[in-house]
Structure 1
Amino acid sequence: MSIELITVVALGLVFLIATVLPVHMGALAFVAAFVVGTAFVGEDTDDIVGGFPGDLFVILVGVTFLFAIAKGNGTVDRLVQLAVRAVGGRIALIPWVMFGVTAVLTAAGAVVPAAVAIIAPIGMGFALRYRINPMLMGLLIINGASAGGFSPISIFGSIVNGVVSRNGLPSNPGLLFVSSFVFNLALSIVVFLLFGGRELLRRSAENAALGGSGRIAVAAEPGTSVALGGGAVGHSRTSTTTGGSGGRSGTGTAGSGGTAEPEHLPLERDHVLTVLGLVFLAVGALAFGLDVGFTALTVAVVLSLISPASAKAAVGQVAWPTVLLICGIVTFVALMERVGTIDWLGNLVTRIGAPLFAAILICLIGAIVSAFASTTGILGALIPLAVPFLLAGEIGPIGLIIALSISSSVVDSSPFSTSGALVVANAPAEQTDRVFRGLMIWGFSMCAVAPLLSWLIFVVPGWG
């Protein structure tokens, strides 16, 4: 059995064992990397550890540590309040606002994981407070990042267009961007309908029928909420229902329609400093290219020094099980890349005589590998591998490049990718396992659905 096939079988066993037995998948992946690397490849431990995703580790730890501080001192609660006011309190719009903001960030040049790292903690805070399905919120954030990710000035778009140009293939950067955006927008509509969007619309409609214009009251303090028309909003220790006209209750004042007007509480010192830290993280990562993980850690440490009490329990809230899981899987995938498994799969595809069948296999490989590894790396590797195939002229190069780009990016919803891992890490603690399983099912389904759909839409008609 070849070493390439051994690594594929080993990865399959990791998933099978972790599914059947209560063994942590990340720990299994580390053991598999050690056993395969030393027994079959002849690597030493330094070589194996060299595949450890240190950048991903720092991102996961830094971002979750910083937002644990922000949650602990109440800053996230205040940001949630402000954002809900900005959309008029219509909770059905909140996931779409997150989609749009993330898409704008990546379209303007932000690295996809950086944009998700900034938006996911805030979005998941909305999900917790307003009983929005965390799968809905997380997937719209990830899809938003992918939607904007192929603009001509974005990272993904620059990589794809650059590789295509260097290899003398025809290109259409505008069509690539529009196709990716529309595909992710359509996918997000499906997500919205599947994961509770209709219930959010119904909840807004019920509030509107009660005279609240579909609005919800904003909690005035962490842990408190105001209920409209008998329906409590958010997770609360205490809840107050507003009743008749002019009544005064708890944190808000009820108007004639039963809509509570929340008090506008001022931001305290810790809130202001935390917001400034988050702004520094966003500007540093998006405008100056600072590393997201180290920047987040720096901001978190500074906040800890300024206000030790509010940061005391934050380290314990870092998503350590998720860190172990993601880093273990990525370490094993790095071993697969070193021994040539990815190139081996790509070369097998290019030898296939049927062009359309070969095209969908290339998209499938891009999707499956990208679900576990760097989308950036996959885009830079698979397109060159497909160049001889594309130059033969039997398949439209523009269509296949668009299909491959979409197939390799949509699967970022996998919990083993950076974007998916960030969503899992920022999910409510009691729902982390549920979100992980949900994203794994969704991500793996996208490994099959996205290549097939993009192949049918862009390759079969012969675009380019």
Structure 2
Amino acid sequence: MMFYSILIILAIIIAIYLGEKHDINTGLVALALAYVIGCFVLGMSVSDLLATFPIKLFLVIFTLALFFNFAVVNGTLEKIAHLLLFRFQKQTKWLPLIFYFITALVSGMGAGFFTSVAVMGAIAMALSKSSGVNRLHVSFAVSLGSLSGANFMYSAHGVLFNSLLSKTAVAAQADVLTRDIFVVSFIYPIFIMLFLMLFDRKNSQITELNIEKPEGFSKKQKVNISLIILLMIIVLGVPMLANFMPENKTMQFINARTDITLLAIVLAIAAYLLKLAGDKPKEVMARVPWNTLWLVSGVGMLIDVAVKAGTIDLLASLINDMPSFIVPIAVTIIAGIMSIFSSTLGVVAPLMFPMIAGIVEPTGYSSSLIAVAIIVGAQSTALAPFSTGGSLILGNSSLSEEDSKKFYNDLLYKATPLGLGFAIVATLILMFIY
């Protein structure tokens, strides 16, 4: 088992290294290594290996991205963001916190992490330049807001986390753990924003913003908003009605067949027929995060091979060999360091979620604490300049070469360790709550 486990860990490291070094999708490298190790070292059949392809996960990411891309392509989400900023422009001293809430809303409404960081990051950098607000602080606001919104139970990350947890030994708690991840990842950044604003209150030379009132929503944008609201009403409302009417067979029949993934594709077809993307229908499909899809799928297959090899149990036992009181902190730090060089969705969550049961049983900690520690830790280093969040914000900063280099150093040497530090403090506090 030890040999196989070391081989799998090396394979994960090689997949990440080759992906970064040669600009190959890490998931494709992981898929190739899963085939070589699974079939030729562990003796798995090709059918068994292909059965590990995460079809549900693939569909979750694809269908939700396809549906919500209409709101991105036709400018609905960007207009919502501008409208909210216009309404709050007199409260410039609260700008980082305002940016956090607006970005979380835009992300939670379906933009997801990548799109909301790109859209809101560009707006934040422009406004921080004109208002004097610390750009590192609004960078935290955009990054954490994008993540917390996407972590909403029925948004991109939330559905993905639920799907991953449903394949582990804590599957029965998947809904509760997904909810706890969202609640914590939404609340703790508020305290981070307040702390940063208080700490920097004498250093920011803040001036009033002068944002012109954006035009009203077009007919297509209003229809798009209606479709998003309809999706949320069905997904949230049907289970609630089913709980209130346990004897109603029709309601139970509908509830058992209500699935956000398949609903999203039905509403996406409706959006196509209503021509909500205008003259850019092909862009809706082009914006589907194909790189993320293959990253998550390929690494997911390699992680399944790792489970068969006993690697997950071995890693969990290594963590459990640490003194019990530092286990949650160790989980946070490991997830944070891994996330600097790899994807939370594609690598950290698929690798560490299966460890939850193995960590919880001997230590007595709650599953919620460990699940939250993994995600809070992994997402704390999203501002590293060579991670997606940091690179998108840096790329949209429109700074001079000299200022861009300084901002790069700030993201790497200030924001990244500070973010991990905040995550450690949050985990320490949660240890007294859970």
**What TM-score comes out, normalization by structure 2 length?**
0.62
Q: 2:225 aligns with which of 275, 293, 296?
A: 275
| In structure 2, distance between residues paired with 1:385 and 1:291 | 31
More helix, by proportion? 2
Aligned residues of 2:329 and 2:428 also touching (Cα < 8 A): no
Matched residue, 1:41: 42
Residue 315 to residue 146, structure 1, CA distance change in 2 (3 Å): closer
Q: 1:336 aligns with which of 306, 311, 322?
A: 306
Deviations 1:294-318, CA, capped at 9 Å, x for gaps: 3333322211112163424322232
> What SS does the corresponding residue of 2:279 show, helix, strand or coil?
helix
Matches within 5 A, 1:305-324: 305-307=273-275, 309-324=279-294
Q: Report deviation, 1:333.
A: 2.2
Q: Report deviation, 1:279.
A: 1.5
Pair 1:140-2:144 in alignment? yes
Unaligned runs of 5+ in 2: 127-134, 174-179, 240-257, 397-403, 405-409
Q: Report deviation, 1:410.
A: 0.5
Residue 268 to residue 101, structure 1, CA distance change in 2 (3 Å): closer
Residue 5 to residue 75, structure 1, CA distance change in 2 (3 Å): same
Q: Report deviation, 1:11.
A: 0.6
Q: Give the letter aligned to residue 389 of structure 1.
A: T
> What SS does the corresponding residue of 1:332 show, helix, strand or coil?
helix
Pair 1:387-2:387 in alignment? no
Matched residue, 1:215: 209
Residue 362 to residue 315, structure 1, CA distance change in 2 (3 Å): closer
Matched residue, 1:302: 270
Unaligned runs of 5+ in 1: 106-113, 168-174, 207-213, 219-261, 391-396
**What TM-score comes out, normalization by structure 1 length?**
0.59
Residue 357 to residue 415, structure 1, CA distance change in 2 (3 Å): closer
| In structure 2, distance between residues paired with 1:123 and 1:89 | 23
| In structure 2, distance between residues paired with 1:291 and 1:327 | 21
Q: Report deviation, 1:10.
A: 0.8
Aligned residues of 1:18 and 1:25 also touching (Cα < 8 A): yes
Question: How many residues are aligned here?
Answer: 363
Matched residue, 2:375: 409
**Bigger mean CA offset, 61-70 vs 286-295:** 286-295
Matched residue, 1:347: 317
Tell which has more relative contact order, 1 or 2 (C-alpha 8 A, sep 6+): 2
Residue 444 to residue 284, structure 1, CA distance change in 2 (3 Å): farther
Deviations 1:158-184, CA, capped at 9 Å, x for gaps: x9xxx99x99xxxxxxx9999877644
Q: Give the letter aligned to residue 315 of structure 2.
A: L
> What SS does the corresponding residue of 2:283 show, helix, strand or coil?
coil
Deviations 1:223-270, CA, capped at 9 Å, x for gaps: xxxxxxxxxxxxxxxxxxxxxxxxxxxxxxxxxxxxxxx3x6443321
Matches within 5 A, 1:12-411: 12-88=13-89, 93=94, 96-97=97-98, 99-100=100-101, 115=108, 117=110, 120=113, 121=115, 124-131=118-125, 136-142=140-146, 144=148, 183-188=188-193, 202=205, 205-206=206-207, 214-218=208-212, 262=213, 265-288=215-238, 291-307=259-275, 309-350=279-320, 352=321, 354-356=323-325, 361=330, 371=344, 372=346, 382-383=356-357, 385-390=359-364, 397=365, 404-411=370-377
Tell me how large the CA RMSD over aligned residues is.
5.3
